Chains A and B, each alone.
Chain A
Amino acid sequence: MSLIVTGLTVTIGGRTVVDDLSFTVADGERFGLIGESGSGKSLTILSLLGLAPEAAHVTGSAVLDGTELIGLSEEELATIRGNRVGMVFQDPQSALNPLHRIGRQIVEPLRLHGGRNERLSKAELRERAVEAVREVGLPDPESLVDAYPHQLSGGQRQRVGIAIALACRPGLLLADEPTTALDVTTQAEILALFERLVSSRGTSLVFVTHDLAVLSQIADDVAVLSAGHMVERGPVATLLEAPTHPVTRGLVAAARATIWSAS
């Protein structure tokens, strides 16, 4: 699924937080948004789906396979969120409902979106949940669907978050710092999972992070944001080798100063 963003601008209380942002994500492309805290990267993807704070005023255009997203009513957006576009958030702890079993949360998008074309019975929904849990590599899917979020580790919860995001087989997946709250071994597993699911299904991916090393593993093309502006865009390798904008140079230098390197 392709996404064409043109002149996206978000203002909050008279302050321009995202300024005239334009980028395209081709079908099946893995696109990265990188920048410091407050650069507007999270707000960018939230405003695509009408999830920006209420005080935010969003203008510009974002076309998802021919559908203009900006200016859609809440009802129209609700048919797109979780259905055609999936989202994975940073903190899997707060993204899950502590009162509901895992299985119920995984099939929620299916119940909401799938209901119209295919009426799934309870048993069928459960089967779909078990299958989704298996697909994201969680142990013992049959009993895990009956567990509550607090019984899982952080990495397991994020796998559940990914299962929910992919339940309706969306054409576009938006991921907002999905590995930042995890430790390195879990992060490596989750990145591998993203890689596997996204490439096997041809899902387009927009991946938001402040971690260049993570981005260099998951993204093809990267846009660098600073104070709401896109200062540079290009393939990850080019940006790392020959950053042209001072902000990109700063990011690359800072990353190299603190990163682990065996040599």
Chain B
Amino acid sequence: MTAPSPGLGGSSPLLVGSGIGRDFTLPRQSLFTPGATRHAVVDASLSVGASESVGLIGESGSGKSTLVRILLALAPASAGTVRFDGRPVTPGRAASLRWFRRQTGVVLQDPYASLDPRMTVEAIVGEPLRALDIAGSHRSLITAMLDRVGLSASMLDRYPHEFSGGQRQRIALARALVHSPRLLVGDEPLSALDVTVRAQILELLATLRDDMGLSLLIVSHDIGLVDHLCDRVAVMQAGRIVEQGATSAVLRSPEHAYTRRLIASVPTLP
């Protein structure tokens, strides 16, 4: 790729995906013909600058999650490259990616599914510290992180089932950030939450980002969330990034027909 990183608003690039493609071979329909190929991601270039927040929107099946899995080296790409801080990121042995894992944290959609019911809060939040061989007092890092997400140290010995959905998502956030990564990736981080809780977690995300100087990559079909949180937004449809740019420009004067249709579908309050 010789094209410049698209739309980087001044900040130096942290995570850069260039020309990423991913093909899947579908199950064959007949014994005598090969299975068809699905192009899940086609020539997608997406970058996240230092302390920049980027949203990736599009409907189910548009390739958002596949692209993000590739950017996180959780899945191989059929084409293209991923770099973090200039260093190539390719899926491989866990040890070869430890430097990259130390720089990234992930928070997923469903805090009921993403926390192990048999682990205490301390064990859950401390897991990245153990897995990534982080030096220092784990206990104090865990306590400090819980405090940051609005939970108290008295909860260390409790189990996920004792918490509400919003509290669980705070625990998941603490786990994603306990090792002080530079990039936080959120896959639909608010979708499973109640509306009042959504507002609280949205605010918490913004505060954490500002306090910790985080870069954010938010995957969502929630246009409101992306509008409130992200500097830049990329729109995916059928595996391609059809439009990207400053959030306000893309959402308020969309150029691509698909973006216009997507935005027209969002329910609004009168």
Residues of B217-270 whose CB lies within 8 A of A: 221-225, 227-228, 251-252, 261-270
Q: Does A99 contact B (CB under 8 A)?
A: no
Q: Is the CB of B195 within 8 A of A184?
A: no
Q: Does A16 contact B (CB under 8 A)?
A: no
Q: Does B198 contact A (CB under 8 A)?
A: yes
- 1/0 per residue, CB under 8 A from B, across A240-263: the answer is 100000000011011111111110
Interface residues on B, range: 20 to 34
Q: Does B207 contact A (CB under 8 A)?
A: no
- 1/0 per residue, CB under 8 A from B, across A110-151: the answer is 000000000000000000000000000000000000000000
How many whole Å from A261's CB to the nearest CB in chain B?
A: 6
Q: Does B199 contact A (CB under 8 A)?
A: yes
Number of A-B contacts (CB under 8 A): 91
- 1/0 per residue, CB under 8 A from B, across A179-206: the answer is 0000111111101000000000000000
Q: Does A67 contact B (CB under 8 A)?
A: no
Report the Cα distance A260→B267, complex, angstroms.
8
Q: Is the CB of A254 within 8 A of B196?
A: yes
Q: Does A211 contact B (CB under 8 A)?
A: yes
Q: Is the CB of B265 within 8 A of A187?
A: yes
Q: Is the CB of A254 within 8 A of B199?
A: yes
- Assuming the contacts A183-B221, A184-B59, A185-B261, asked whether A260 and B194 have C-beta atoms less than 8 A apart, the reply is no
**Segment with Cβ contacts to B, from A46-54, A71-79, A159-167, A212-220:** A212-220
Closest-by-CB residue of B relative to A155 is B60
Q: Is the CB of A211 within 8 A of B252?
A: no
Q: Is the CB of B202 within 8 A of A260?
A: no
Q: Is the CB of B221 within 8 A of A184?
A: yes
Q: Is the CB of A254 within 8 A of B269?
A: no
**Chain A interface helix/strand/loop/mixed:** helix
Chain B residues within 8 Å of A234, by CB: none
Residue among A188, A255, A258 with most chain B CB within 10 A: A258
How many whole Å from B202's CB to the nearest CB in chain A?
A: 6
Q: Does B88 contact A (CB under 8 A)?
A: no
Q: Does A210 contact B (CB under 8 A)?
A: yes
Q: Does B61 contact A (CB under 8 A)?
A: yes
How many whole Å from A192's CB to the nearest CB in chain B?
A: 10
Contact of A259 among B59, B221, B224, B264 (CB under 8 A): B224
Given A211-B267, A216-B270, 8 additional A-B pairs, CB 8 A: A36-B194, A37-B165, A153-B60, A187-B265, A216-B269, A255-B269, A259-B224, A260-B222
Where the two chains meet, the residues of A that have a C-beta atom closer than 8 Å to any C-beta of B are: 36-37, 153-154, 183-189, 191, 210-214, 216-217, 237, 240, 250-251, 253-262
Could you jot down 18 A-B contacts, CB within 8 Å?
A37-B194, A183-B221, A184-B266, A186-B59, A213-B268, A216-B270, A240-B269, A251-B195, A251-B196, A254-B196, A256-B269, A258-B222, A259-B269, A260-B222, A260-B224, A262-B251, A262-B252, A262-B268
